[in-house]
Chains A and B, each alone.
Chain A
Amino acid sequence: MTRAPILSFTDKGIYCAAGDFYVDPWYPVARALITHGHADHARPGMGTYLATDGTLPIMRHRLGDISAESIAYGQVIRIGDAQVSFHPAGHVPGSAQIRIEVGGEIWVASGDYKITDDGLSEPFEPVPCHHFITESTFGLPVFRWAEQATVAAEINTWWSACAAAGKTAFLGAYALGKAQRLLSMLDPDIGPILTHTAVENSNRVLRGQGYTLPATRHASADLIPKNHPGAIVICPPSAMGSTWARRFGPQETGFASGWMAIRGIRRRRAGDRGFVISDHADWEGLLSAIKQTGAENIYVTHGYTDIFNKYLNENGWQSRVIPTQFEGETAGAEEQA
C-alpha cells in the first residue's frame, strides 16, 4: 500500500496533512507557514502564521494585526505528526526554506532562494532531504550572475557619472530585500542616499532587527531636492517618473533585476540603465542547490518550469512541475526578481 505523500499540491497551495498546515498558501487557511515576507508568499487572511524571527516583523508591518508566532533558524518544533524547522534561503533578510520531516522522510519547501551570499541576508544553507521543492524563476542556462562586487562597481560608477553631470540617479528595485541589498552595495562617499517611503519603511523594520544599512534619508514630500546634490534615490520602479520623482529635476533612471540580463527586456524596462542583479538563483545556482540537498525527487514551480523540469529528468532526477498561482515569468514579476 502506498502512503499519501508528506506534502501535496492543492488549489490553496502546498499542504502537509500530517501537520494540517500549508506553506505560503494562496487562499485563507487555518495555519500558514511562511517562507518570506514578499506579497506573493505572505498573503492576508490566514488563521495563524508561523515565520522566522527575521520575517515576522515585516509581515506584521505589511499585514497589520495578525495572529502569528515566530521561530529561530534551526529550531525544531512539532506540528501534529510533522517535525518542522526553518533554514536560511538567502533570498532576502529573514527568508527561509522550510524542512518538514514525517516518519523519517524529509521534504524541503525552499520558497525563493539564492545561493550567493549578499552580505545582508542570512546565507543559503543546503538542507539534505529526499524531496525538494524548487523555484525556477531563472531556470535557463542564459542566466549567469556576475559577482556582486562587479555589479556594485557598475552601479557606483553610474551614480558617480550622474552626480558629476548634475543629475539625480534613480535606482528602481523591489522595496523589501533588493532595495536593502543595493543600499549595502553603494559607496556612501559618492553622495547622499535618499529613499522612497516604501523603501524607508522596510529599512526601519530591518534596522530594528539589527541589520546594518548605510545612512539613508527619507525623500518625503517636504524634502528639498536641490539641498541634496549628487544624490541617488532608491525607489520602487512604479515611483520612477512620478510627480514625486520629477521634483528632482534632471535625472537618470536605472533598474536592478535579473531580467536585465536580457537585452530586449532591458531596453523595454530599464530607462537609462539596467543592472543585472537578482535575489533568485541563476542556472548554476539552482543546479548546485539541488545537488547539495541530495534529493532525488524534485518539484519545480515558478518560472521556466517546463524547461527546467525536462532538463532535470534528463539528468537523473525524478522531477515534476507544480502548478502555481503566481506566474514567475510575467512581466509584472520582473520587478521583484
Chain B
Amino acid sequence: MKRFATLFNAIDQSTKTTVKVAALAAYFTEADDLDRLWTVALFSGRRPKRAVTTTRLREWAAEVAGVPLWLFEDSYAIVGDLAETISLILPATLSGDNRPLSQWINDLRGLADVDEAARKAFVLNAWQRLGGSERFVFNKLITGGFRMGVSQKLMTRALAQATGKSEAELAHRLMGNWHPDTHSWHSLIEAEDASADASRPYPFYLAYGLEQEPQDLGAPSDWRAEWKWDGIRGQLILREGAYFVWSRGEELMTDRFPELARAIDHLPSGTVLDGELLVWQAGADKPASFNALQPRIGRKTVPKKLLSEAPVVLHAYDLLEWQGDDIRDRPFAERRALLEMACVDLPSDAPVKLSPQLAFPDWDRLAEYRRDARDAHAEGLMLKRADSPYLAGRKKGDWWKWKLEPLTIDAVMIYAQSGSGRRANLFTDFTFAVRNGDDFVPFTKAYSGLTDAEFRQITAWVRKNTLQKFGPVRQVTPHHVFEIAFEGIQPSSRHKSGVALRFPRMKRWRKDKPLAEANTLDDLNEMLRIYG
C-alpha cells in the first residue's frame, strides 16, 4: 500500500502527462505481480465490490472524529469527496503498515462474508493504522470510486513503456472479461497468445468532432459518409457459436439484448461487427428516437412486453473480424465491402441491419444530408477516410463526426450547487428556468461549458446573491441568463416543466441579455412541438 500511495502522490501532484506516465511506468516495472495486476484492474474500472455502505462509513467516521453527523455531512458537501472527507476529518496518525495493496484488497473483499461488527472493527483499525495518502487510498478502495487523473489510455501508454509492447496490443489485451482472480500478470500482459477468451472485444475507434470545413478534408471521393445514429455504440461478437455484446464503456451487455442472439443464425462464427444499437419497429423505415431506447438502458433483464415494444437491432457500420481473422488493418473501403457481402442475405427481420452509406458527389450534397439528419433520427454524419485502418481509441485524422448544430434556448439560473472533485468549493451545477409570466419554471440542469474563470466569477456572485439555502443547494436571485445548448427535447412526466433535454450544457453566459429577454415556457413548448 505504501508503494501504491507513493504512486498516487506522484500522479496527484503533477499536472503533466509525461510525469504521470513515467511514475506509472516505474511502478509497473517495480511492483510485485499481484499489486501491479490489481493496479491495472483498478485503473480500468475493475474495482472490488463495495463491502460497506457509505452511510455506515459516514457514521463511523463522525464517531471516530468526535463530531456530530450533520457536521460530517456539511463538511462532505464542501470537500466534495467522501474518501477525502473521511481522511481529513479523522485524527492524524503515523502510518505503520506494510501490507501490500493486493492484501488490502483481498481483506476488503473478505468483508462481504462477515457481520457488521467485524466490518466496523476492520475499517476503524485500518483508519488508525494508515496515515495521510494511504488512508485516502484505502477510503477510495472501500468507497469504490477510483478516479485519480489516470485514464485507461494513459495507463496503457505507461504499460507500453514498462513492457516494450505496443499500446494497441496492450489495449486489446486489457479489453473484456478478465479479473485478477482469473488472470496473472503473465497471462494478461506477457503471454504469447492473448486471444484465449472468446468474448474479448476490440478497442473501439472513436472520432473527434469535425473542426474545419469539410471542403478542407480534400477530395470527396477519398471519403465515405454515414448517418451518425443516436443510439448506443456496440460491438457484436460472434465466436464459437456464442454471441457477446459490448458497450463502448467496455460493459458486457449480452443479457440485455437477447434479440441479438438470432444473429448467430445469419452470420458465421468468427465475425465481429461495430455498430449502433437502435430501437427499430417492425416495418418502420427508420429507427425510433433515442427516447424509445431509454427503457432498455440500464436494465439487466428485459421483460417480454418491453422486448416487443422496443425491439433492438444492431446497425452495423464496420467489420473488425471476419472468418476469425482480425482485419482492422485493412482499409475501411475493403472492410466495408466485406461487411456488405456478409449482410447481403440478411432477412428483413434479422437483428442486424447494414447501416447505409450516403453517396455524395460534392461536399454541398453532404451538407444537405446533414441538414436532414434530424428527420432521419440521426444526430449528424460520420465521415470516414476510405483507406483508413480501424484504430484503437480516440484518434484524429481518418474519422470525423459532423454533428448537427445543437438546439439552444436562453434560460435563467435559479439554483446553484457546488461541484465535487476538482470543482470542490466552486458552484458549478446549476438549475435553469424559463419565464412564465412573473414565474420561473425550472426545466433543466447543466454542469459544463463554462471556463474555470467563469465558474470562479459565478461562484463569487452566487455567494453574494443567495436567497435561501437548502442543504448544499442555493436558491439565487434570478438575474443571469445563459444560452443552453442541447441535442434533443422530449416530453417528460418527471419534470415540472413537462420536458426533458438531452445533453444540456451551457453554451454561453449571456451577460448582454437582461432577464426579460430570456425565453418563456411558451417558447420551450414550441420547441417540444417542433423537435420532440
Question: Is A330 a contact of B71 with CB atoms below 8 Å?
Answer: no
Question: Is A141 a contact of B89 with CB atoms below 8 Å?
Answer: yes
Given the known interface contacts A141-B67, A264-B421, A265-B425, the answer about A332 and B75 at a Cβ–Cβ threshold of 8 Å is no
Complex Cα distance, B78 from A140, in Å, reads 9
Could you tell me which residues of chain B, from 447 to 474, have a CB within 8 Å of some CB in chain A?
452, 456, 459-460, 463-464, 469
A-binding segment of B12-20, B105-113, B375-383, B482-490: B12-20
Question: Is A327 a contact of B460 with CB atoms below 8 Å?
Answer: yes
Q: Say if the beta carbon of B81 comes within 8 Å of chain A.
A: yes
Question: Is B13 a contact of A272 with CB atoms below 8 Å?
Answer: yes
Complex Cα distance, B71 from A310, in Å, reads 9
Beta-carbon nearest neighbor of A253 in chain B: B15
Question: Is A331 a contact of B456 with CB atoms below 8 Å?
Answer: yes
Could you tell me which residues of chain B, from 69 to 110, have a CB within 8 Å of some CB in chain A?
70-72, 74-75, 78-81, 84-85, 88-89, 91-92
Q: Say if the beta carbon of A125 comes within 8 Å of chain B.
A: no
Question: Is B81 a contact of A264 with CB atoms below 8 Å?
Answer: yes
Chain B residues whose C-beta falls within 8 Å of the C-beta of A142 in the assembled complex = 75, 78-79, 85, 88-89
Chain B residues whose C-beta falls within 8 Å of the C-beta of A259 in the assembled complex = 425
Chain A residues whose C-beta falls within 8 Å of the C-beta of B459 in the assembled complex = 330-331
Given the known interface contacts A140-B75, A141-B75, A272-B15, the answer about A267 and B92 at a Cβ–Cβ threshold of 8 Å is no
Complex Cα distance, B459 from A332, in Å, reads 10
Question: Is B463 a contact of A330 with CB atoms below 8 Å?
Answer: yes
Question: Is B81 a contact of A329 with CB atoms below 8 Å?
Answer: no
Nearest Cβ on chain B to A308's Cβ, whole angstroms: 10
Q: Say if the beta carbon of A1 comes within 8 Å of chain B.
A: no
Complex Cα distance, B158 from A229, in Å, reads 32
Beta-carbon nearest neighbor of B14 in chain A: A272
Residue with the highest number of chain A CB atoms closer than 10 Å, among B13, B65, B85: B13
Given the known interface contacts A264-B81, A330-B459, A331-B459, the answer about A146 and B92 at a Cβ–Cβ threshold of 8 Å is yes
Q: Say if the beta carbon of A30 comes within 8 Å of chain B.
A: no
Complex Cα distance, B70 from A330, in Å, reads 23
Chain A residues whose C-beta falls within 8 Å of the C-beta of B420 in the assembled complex = 264
Interface size class of A (residues with CB under 8 A): 20 to 34
Complex Cα distance, B15 from A271, in Å, reads 7
Could you tell me which residues of chain B, from 416 to 466, have a CB within 8 Å of some CB in chain A?
419-426, 452, 456, 459-460, 463-464
Complex Cα distance, B12 from A310, in Å, reads 34
Complex Cα distance, B247 from A197, in Å, reads 57
Beta-carbon nearest neighbor of B86 in chain A: A142
Chain B residues whose C-beta falls within 8 Å of the C-beta of A329 in the assembled complex = 425, 463
Q: Say if the beta carbon of B303 comes within 8 Å of chain A.
A: no
Q: Say if the beta carbon of B68 comes within 8 Å of chain A.
A: yes
Q: Say if the beta carbon of A102 comes within 8 Å of chain B.
A: no
Question: Is A264 a contact of B422 with CB atoms below 8 Å?
Answer: yes
Interface residue from B65, B80, B460 paired with A264 (Cβ < 8 Å): B80
Question: Is B92 a contact of A144 with CB atoms below 8 Å?
Answer: yes
Residue with the highest number of chain B CB atoms closer than 10 Å, among A140, A267, A327: A140
Question: Is B88 a contact of A264 with CB atoms below 8 Å?
Answer: no
Nearest Cβ on chain A to B150's Cβ, whole angstroms: 13
Nearest Cβ on chain B to A149's Cβ, whole angstroms: 14
Q: Say if the beta carbon of A268 comes within 8 Å of chain B.
A: yes
Complex interface bits, A281-311 against B, C-beta within 8 A gives 1, otherwise 0: 0000000000000000000000010110011
Chain A residues whose C-beta falls within 8 Å of the C-beta of B460 in the assembled complex = 327, 330-332
Question: Is B422 a contact of A267 with CB atoms below 8 Å?
Answer: yes
Question: Is B74 a contact of A140 with CB atoms below 8 Å?
Answer: yes
Complex interface bits, A239-280 against B, C-beta within 8 A gives 1, otherwise 0: 000000000000000000001011111011001110000000
Beta-carbon nearest neighbor of B136 in chain A: A263
Question: Is A264 a contact of B13 with CB atoms below 8 Å?
Answer: no
Chain A residues whose C-beta falls within 8 Å of the C-beta of B68 in the assembled complex = 311, 314
Question: Is B423 a contact of A273 with CB atoms below 8 Å?
Answer: no
Considering the complex of A and B, which 8 residue pairs feature the smallest CB-CB distances, nearest first? A264-B424, A142-B88, A331-B456, A142-B75, A140-B75, A267-B422, A307-B74, A330-B460
Known: A142-B79, A263-B84, A264-B420. 12 other contacts (CB 8 A): A141-B72, A142-B78, A144-B92, A263-B421, A264-B419, A265-B424, A267-B149, A271-B15, A272-B13, A272-B15, A314-B68, A331-B425
Interface residues of A (CB under 8 A from B): 140-144, 146, 259, 261-265, 267-268, 271-273, 304, 306-307, 310-311, 314, 327, 329-332
Interface residues of B (CB under 8 A from A): 12-15, 65, 67-68, 70-72, 74-75, 78-81, 84-85, 88-89, 91-92, 149, 419-426, 452, 456, 459-460, 463-464, 469
